[in-house]
Amino acid sequence: MGGSSTLGGLTDVTVSAPSAWHVQGYDADAGVWKNTSHIHGNLAGGIYIHIKNTDSVQLDKGTPFYITGTVGASDQVEVQAADSADPLKGPAVGLVEEDLAVNGEGNGVIIGEIFQFDTATPSWSTNDALYVANTGGLTNVQPTSGYRQIVAYVGRVHASTGTLVLTGASVDPVAGSNGQVQFNDNGGFGGDTGLTFNKTTNALTVGASTVDGGSAKVYGDINLDDGGTFSTTVQSVTPTANRTISFPDATGTVALVSGANGTIQYNDAGTLKGNSDFTVDLDWNNASTVFTGLKLNVTDGAGGSPVGNSDSNLIDVQTGGTSVLRARTNGSILFLAGGYLYASNSIVARYINTDWQINRLALPATGLSDTFLERDDANILAQRNGTASQTFRLYNTWGNNGVDFERLNIRWTGTNSLRIETEAGGTGTARALDLISGSSLLGLGAGAGVRWYVTNNSQFAAASDACTINFGATSDTGFARDSAGVVAITDGSTGTGYVKQTPVLVSALPTAATVGAGTRGFVSDATATTFASVVTGSGTASTAGTVPVYSDGTDWRIG
């Protein structure tokens, strides 16, 4: 065939004022072809748009994408991978039809199917709703943060010939996650992590946000307004812990109460009262009514354990930042009643006139108390702890957190003997120990060395390596160390002294072997005076029979 012709020259074609992009369609009722602005018929395949990958990585087949711009003046759009964790990377408008390299151009399916897709490896099932995943891609699990958007449904499940179906019905994302309160955000759903609702506890929470990404906190308000006669605002003021604000019942009244900041307010017969000096003035005066003027209740832990750390305080009253009165949560109850101070129902002390009289004081090191000061009996104070031995320390000096000290120790030892001793540590100096009773004095030098002793005007003294034991009111007799291994008897002035041994009958002498060789004595009934002879006695004391004797380890001999 050659030449040219027009559609109007055909007998089965009718053309009526055609416009740009009109197409021909067959009208079966009229039996002719006509121009029309749309197509009637069935569509096999997908509807797609032309896209260009401007992301920094390859967009794999099936990747949800969002529009970031256009390619010049064309109908092609620039796209990047959508990410439900980032509201700025969404909503997704379709899925990439085939792998698309960086700056690569291709098709993005918005309605229809994606074929030859692995739907088996992710363990998906037919008709699973697929969401834009956190960090991008597809998931059949609803994201718990960021926004949610269904972009496709699973058709055929197969590792290589699976299909994804895009209906185009879920392109509007639902911002937020479980618990977030949703609101209209410029025609769509919006949400904020600072506004949440717990449907289990029926708790609505208004959280804090930062100012322009900084550290300053901004706290939201809850405004209740009926549009005319009623309006109130519940505000949060820099809380350091959870706050609970309770409204009165339907018959109550919410009103502003004048007064200075910091006023404690309370209910007084249906109206609010306050006091600027942090006092609560109670008007109860009925003796038959049991009431609690001020109550602070902290829920105890499981099993009756202390609330929090054992050093936690139920109340801490301070002056200038320093605690002056504290009640702790370690299980002990401390209270005043009738002039007595109680702890766990035991009287610790009582207040009489201007003095505290202590009844019992329990002193713990760590944990349970291991030392008690207690009234044992009338006018008797005891330091004890069951059967455990006790030590009492009286300090002369104490410093450097206990490293430097001088002190007296009174204690029972492991051998059940009582020990009184002075001790020193660090820069401390060992001190003497003196015991005085009237004019009698026992003095001990530093450590265990004996210093001197006086009782009934008799003296016992020690100084350095020399040692003297003096007797008598004028110290006219004594023992002194003359030199190594030598003890001298002295009268304290001339150096002359004497030893007196009382004579006994020979029969009264102990066995020579028992007392040992070198033991000396006097007998009064010796029958002979021969030196070194074995002594024998007459049994009757006489001047003639008085002789010195010594033991050679076997016998008593004269000499």
Q: What percent of the chain has pLDDT over 90?
A: 31
**Residue 331 has which token pair?**
């299980």
Q: Which residue would you say has higher pLDDT here, 343 or 1?
A: 343
- Domain of 461 in residue numbering reads as 432-499
DSSP state of 512: H
Which residue has 């009208």 as its token pair? 27
Which residue has 């005319």 as its token pair? 228
Q: Is residue 235 part of a domain?
A: no
**Residue 250 has which token pair?**
């339907």
Q: Is residue 326 part of a domain?
A: yes
Query: Within this chain, do residues 18 and 123 fall inside the same structural domain, yes or no?
Result: no
Q: Which of 479, 499, 519 is the last residue of a domain?
A: 499
Q: Which of 154, 175, 196 is the last residue of a domain?
A: 175
Instruction: Write out pLDDT tens, residues 227-278.
Output: 665 555 555 444 444 444 444 444 444 554 444 555 666 666 656 666 656 6
- Give the Cα separation of 49 and 166 in Å (integer): 14
Q: Pairing relation of β-strands 13-14 and 32-36?
A: parallel
Query: Within this chain, do residues 371 and 446 fall inside the same structural domain, yes or no?
Result: no
* Residue burial 371-384, b: 16+ Cβ < 10 Å; e: rest: beebeeeeeeeeee
Query: Within this chain, do residues 58 and 131 fall inside the same structural domain, yes or no?
Result: yes
Banded model confidence at residue 304, pLDDT cuts 50, 70, 90: low
Q: Is residue 120 part of a domain?
A: yes
Q: What pLDDT score was predicted for residue 448? A: 42
Banded model confidence at residue 531, pLDDT cuts 50, 70, 90: very high
Q: How large is the average pLDDT for residues 17-30? A: 78
Q: Is residue 270 part of a domain?
A: no
Query: Within this chain, do residues 548 and 449 fall inside the same structural domain, yes or no?
Result: no
How many CA atoms does the CB half-sphere of 226 hold within 13 Å?
3
- Helix (H/G/I), strand (E/B), else coil: 393: strand
Q: What pLDDT score was predicted for residue 339? A: 53
Query: Within this chain, do residues 84 and 123 fall inside the same structural domain, yes or no?
Result: yes
Query: Within this chain, do residues 490 and 506 fall inside the same structural domain, yes or no?
Result: no
- Helix (H/G/I), strand (E/B), else coil: 500: coil
Q: Which residue would you say has higher pLDDT here, 317 or 96?
A: 96
Asked whether the beta carbons of 373 and 348 are under 8 A apart, the reply is: no
Rg of the Cα trace of the chain?
Answer: 54
- Give the Cα separation of 130 and 390 in Å (integer): 76
Asked whether the beta carbons of 450 and 462 are under 8 A apart, the reply is: yes
Q: Is residue 238 part of a domain?
A: no
Instruction: Write out pLDDT tens, residues 439-485.
Output: 666 666 554 444 455 544 445 554 444 566 766 666 677 777 777 77
User: What are the backbone angles phi and psi of residue 130, rounded to the nearest 5°?
Assistant: -110, 130
**Residue 526 has which token pair?**
């010796």
Q: How large is the average pLDDT for residues 487-495? A: 70
- Give the Cα separation of 511 and 519 in Å (integer): 11
Instruction: Write out pLDDT tens, residues 74-115.
Output: 889 999 999 988 888 988 999 999 999 999 999 999 999 999
**Residues in CB range of 210: below 8 A, 6 or more apart:** 216, 217, 218
Give the least confident one: 195-199, 300-304, 358-362, 394-398. Answer: 300-304
Q: What pLDDT score was predicted for residue 535? A: 95
Query: Within this chain, do residues 524 and 546 fall inside the same structural domain, yes or no?
Result: yes
Give the least confident one: 26-35, 357-366, 370-379, 443-452. Answer: 443-452
Q: Pairing relation of β-strands 174-175 and 147-148?
A: antiparallel
Banded model confidence at residue 407, pLDDT cuts 50, 70, 90: very high
Query: Within this chain, do residues 475 and 514 fall inside the same structural domain, yes or no?
Result: no
Query: Within this chain, do residues 73 and 166 fall inside the same structural domain, yes or no?
Result: yes
Q: How large is the average pLDDT for residues 107-125? A: 95
Q: Is residue 19 part of a domain?
A: yes
Query: Within this chain, do residues 123 and 65 fall inside the same structural domain, yes or no?
Result: yes
- Give the Cα separation of 462 and 480 in Å (integer): 10
Q: Which residue would you say has higher pLDDT here, 99 or 203?
A: 99
Give the least confident one: 112-116, 151-155, 351-355. Answer: 351-355
Q: Is residue 510 part of a domain?
A: yes
Whether the per-residue pLDDT at 327 is higher than 50: the answer is: yes
Query: Within this chain, do residues 153 and 194 fall inside the same structural domain, yes or no?
Result: no
Q: How large is the average pLDDT for residues 192-217? A: 68
Question: What sign results for the dihedral spanned by CA atoms 546, 550, 552, 558?
Answer: negative
Q: Is residue 303 part of a domain?
A: no
Number of domains composing the chain? 6
Q: Which of 220-224, 265-269, 466-470, 495-499 has the highest mean pLDDT?
A: 495-499
Whether the per-residue pLDDT at 224 is higher than 70: the answer is: no
Query: Within this chain, do residues 437 and 348 fall inside the same structural domain, yes or no?
Result: no
514: enclosing H helix or E strand: helix 512-515
Q: Which of 152, 175, 198 is the last residue of a domain?
A: 175
